[in-house]
Amino acid sequence: MERALQQIFNFNRKPADEDKDDDLSDSEDSVYSGLEDSGSDSEEEEGSDDDEEEGSDDNDDKMKEKKEGEVSEEKKKHEYEHDSSDEEDIRNTVGNIPMEWYKDFPHIGYNLDGKKIYKPIRNKDELDDFLDKMENPEYWRTVHDKQTGSDVVLSDDQVELVNRLQRGQFGDVNFNECEPMVEFFSSDVMIHPVTNRPADKRSFIPSLTEKEKVSKLVHAIKMGWIKPRRVEDDGRGRYYNLWASEDSSILARHKMHLPAPKIPLPGHHESYNPPPEYLFTDEERALWEQQDPADRKLPFVPRKYSSLRQVPAFSQFIHERFERCLDLYLCPRQRKMRVNVNPEDLIPQLPKPKDLQPFPTTRSLVYRGHSGLVRSISVSPSGQWLASGSDDGSVRFWEVCSSRCMKTVQVGGAVKSVAWNPNPSVCLLAVALDSVVLILSPSLADKQVILSSERLLSAQQEGEEPAEGNGSVVWSEAEGEELNQGLRLKIQHPKAVHQVVWHAKGDYLASVMPDNTSHLQVYIHQLSRRRSQNPFSRNKGLVQCISFHPIRPYFFVATQRSIRIYNLVKQEMTKKLQTNSKWISSMAVHPGGDHVICGSYDCKLSWFDLDLSTKPYKMLRHHKKAVRGVAYHRLYPLFASASDDGSVIVCHGTVYNDLLQNPLIVPVKVLRGHVMTHDLGVLDVTFHPTQPWVFSSGADATICLFT
């Protein structure tokens, strides 16, 4: 067997060797494969040879006997090696051919001597056969031999053998197929090893040939001679989209389907026997009847019946079904795509308050001395003095840097408004109380300034009595003790004065007398000529506050809901600002004159950009309660609002010269320092003219300076 294998292998190898000789240079592949074959062959041959030789040498007796038996068998086999037809019936020498070929001959073959074997004389016909079948008890074991043409009767043993083979059993009766197996190699460690051969050297030396082979493979891969197996792509359409031809809109509609909203389930209200708290009281019933059918919470009145039998038919049934159908038909139902936006992204990027310094941050000084709520404060244009008017009937003058009260003037009435003349070359203070506007000369300035202000007051033209205003405004000079106190002029108005403001030049001042019924609400006074005039001939609403434009001849009048801007030269209205608030409380004009802020009693602060529109550019709702006062800083981009909630909010408001750029408004600080008194907090707020400081006066009779 081994020799045969060897032969086969040799046979295989031969052409490869020839190949190698033929084209050694061009076909590396063949060289490689040839080497591979030869290597493995030689090794196996050697191995098997060694195994057998050594194995036969060292073995114990039992094994030897077995081996000998095997060897003897092998020898017998070797004797008949070329005679594979020993079991053949060789009486007929025609071989294994279809016997039909001898059908027409009298013989059916030749015997070993070359003599014809004649067919037996067939005298048996079908009838004989049948009779034979019926009568011959041996018939079932008679077999017709086609090669000899004779019938053979099988012996009992033969029949038995046939039966056994048919059943799939071994032919040999004595063969026990269920003999217990003697395991030659088992997991048990035996005392005596099966082979006591020392381990081969090659088992612990890395194989050189393997290495060579691998390196050749690697080289071949590197050179690109061997390519990895290509992965077949499935792009030939093994799979296909079943729904490709489907209309996507239909699918989308299915996906976006929204079921109709369900009718709410009936509750206790609908019950025929509701708990008593669900039944309407008389008031509720009256209310229900009063209400518009659309506003009613329930479309019916809950009723109580003693039994289900007595419940009448629901009269509203048809109507209700109709309404429902109408709802389903008319109300479009569609899924709203909600945009997933981080709410913080929507907040505009505002600069940090830290970058917007300076602005007031802490309460530095408290000016104490008043005994009533301080309605109004005003800082002198130099920034050295602060004037305050209070409900205790006094006007006080404070030194700003030390909070010392330098002067107290008793004016004998709750002071509504104080205003320092903005002209730095005069030192005058206008005070509004009851129906009088007082002009005070506090003599807190250089002597030249005091002189010039005295001169301004005394430079009146005699005999030129104001004809306008029906003589209702009376100018009079102060006398006696009042003169010592600093009082200079009294301007008597027909009605209670609420506010007094100066024009930037310091010669004109305007006063407000809020009155809804008359057109006599605003007076403009000229100090040097002691004239007063009422600029408006018609009542446009309750005037809340007024202001002069800081540069141009405009005049701002705030009524309850709107601010009107009048051109004083042309004597006409130029603009009307809609504040969208219910009741304006205060107003301030930007020193540039193009912006107005206005506070209102409904907690709002509106910023108007006069160049932009008549609607507020920005509404700030930072205060919890009514805004009482607003103020702009003269130099710094700051504005402040004071409110009844006891806080002053300072905002940064940069205004750009560029018309395209809108003002930048950033709230920077909430200042608290006043104690809430009688539900009132901060009443007035004003900025220092040169420093980023803010003053606030409160209902707790103090004034605070925040720096």
Partner 1 sequence: MSQIQARFFTEDKRYVVDDVPFSIPAASEVQDLSNVINKLLEAKNGNKVDFDFLVRGQFLRTSLSTHMATEGISTVWILTGSYDKTARIWSTEGKPAMTVAGHTDVVKDVAWVKREGLTSLLLTASLDQTVLLWEWNSERNKVKARHCCRGHAGSVDTISVDPTGTKFCSGSWDKMLKIWSAVPTDEQDEIEEPADRPRKKQKTQQLGLTRTPLMTLSGHSEAVSSVLWCDSEEVCSASWDHTIRIWDVDTGGMKTTLTGSKVFNCISYSPLCRRLASGSTDRHIRLWDPRTKDGSLVLLSLTSHTGWVTAVKWAPSHAHQLVSGSLDNLVKLWDTRSCKAPLYDLAAHEDKVFCVDWTESGLMLSGGADNKLYTYRYSAQQAEA
**What is the binding site for partner 1 (CB under 8 A)?**
357-358, 364-365, 382-384, 401-404, 406, 446-448, 451, 690-691, 707
Gap between the Cα atoms of 624 and 621, Å rounded: 8
Gap between the Cα atoms of 375 and 496, Å rounded: 15
CB closer to partner 1, 215 vs 402 = 402
Instruction: Give yes or no for a contact between 706 and 688, defined as CB atoms under 8 angstroms apart.
Output: no
- 693 contact partners, CB below 8 Å, separation of at least 6: 360, 364, 687, 705, 706, 707
CB of 669 vs partner 1, minimal distance in Å:
15
CB of 402 vs partner 1, minimal distance in Å:
7
CB closer to partner 1, 70 vs 446 = 446
CB of 597 vs partner 1, minimal distance in Å:
26
CB closer to partner 1, 142 vs 362 = 362
For tokens 């809901």, the residue is 561
- 453 contact partners, CB below 8 Å, separation of at least 6: 421, 426, 427, 428, 441
CB closer to partner 1, 405 vs 414 = 405
Gap between the Cα atoms of 48 and 55, Å rounded: 10
CB closer to partner 1, 365 vs 500 = 365
CB of 707 vs partner 1, minimal distance in Å:
5
Instruction: Give yes or no for a contact between 572 and 555, defined as CB atoms under 8 angstroms apart.
Output: no
CB of 634 vs partner 1, minimal distance in Å:
14
**With helix as H, strand as E and coil as C, how does 79-127 read?**
HCCCCCCCCCCCCCCCCCCCHHHHCCCCEEEECCCCCEEECCCCCCCHH
CB of 384 vs partner 1, minimal distance in Å:
6
CB of 401 vs partner 1, minimal distance in Å:
8
- 460 contact partners, CB below 8 Å, separation of at least 6: 528, 529, 530
E strand map for 493-594: 499-502, 508-512, 522-526, 531-533, 543-548, 554-559, 562-567, 572-578, 584-589
Number of CB atoms found within 10 A of residue 217's CB: 13
CB of 398 vs partner 1, minimal distance in Å:
12
Gap between the Cα atoms of 444 and 404, Å rounded: 13
CB closer to partner 1, 34 vs 486 = 486
CB closer to partner 1, 364 vs 560 = 364
| Of 663, 665, 682, 661, residue with least CA distance to 673 | 682
Instruction: Give yes or no for a contact between 649 and 669, defined as CB atoms under 8 angstroms apart.
Output: yes
Q: Is the dihedral of CA 175, 178, 182, 185 positive or negative?
A: positive
Gap between the Cα atoms of 484 and 408, Å rounded: 12
CB of 400 vs partner 1, minimal distance in Å:
10
CB of 635 vs partner 1, minimal distance in Å:
11
CB closer to partner 1, 6 vs 408 = 408
CB of 381 vs partner 1, minimal distance in Å:
13
CB of 705 vs partner 1, minimal distance in Å:
9
In terms of phi and psi (left: phi > 0; alpha: psi -120 to 50; beta: otherwise), the region of 403 is left
The pair of structure tokens assigned to 583 is: 């009741």
**633-665 as b/e: b if 16+ CB within 10 A:** bbebbbbbbbbbbbbbbbbbbebeeeeeebbeb
CB closer to partner 1, 648 vs 683 = 648
CB closer to partner 1, 39 vs 591 = 591
Instruction: Give yes or no for a contact between 194 and 184, defined as CB atoms under 8 angstroms apart.
Output: yes
CB closer to partner 1, 533 vs 691 = 691
For tokens 């009595």, the residue is 465
CB closer to partner 1, 365 vs 638 = 365
